[in-house]
Amino acid sequence: MDEKLDELRALVAQNNNNLTALGKARLIELMRIYGEEAYINDDKNR
């Protein structure tokens, strides 16, 4: 479980705009594992 928490912290530490689609999906998955909703600010200009 600690490994997933470490992975979550590493992803959160990154700038969300620089995350790949896979990275965002993984972040959301990990947030759900820990019972939190993931709010990722997508660039509205895309």
Please write the tens of the pLDDT for every residue from 2-16: 788 788 777 777 655
Is pLDDT larger for residue 18 or for residue 36?
18
25 half-sphere exposure, CB direction, 13 A CA radius: 3
Please write the tens of the pLDDT for every residue from 23-39: 778 878 877 877 654 45
- pTM for the model stands at 0.39
- Assess contact for 14 and 23: CB atoms under 8 A: yes
> Identity (one letter) of the amino acid at 42?
D
- What per-residue confidence (pLDDT) applies to 9? 77
Which range of residues forms the domain containing residue 11? 1-46
Q: What's the number of domains the chain is made of?
A: 1
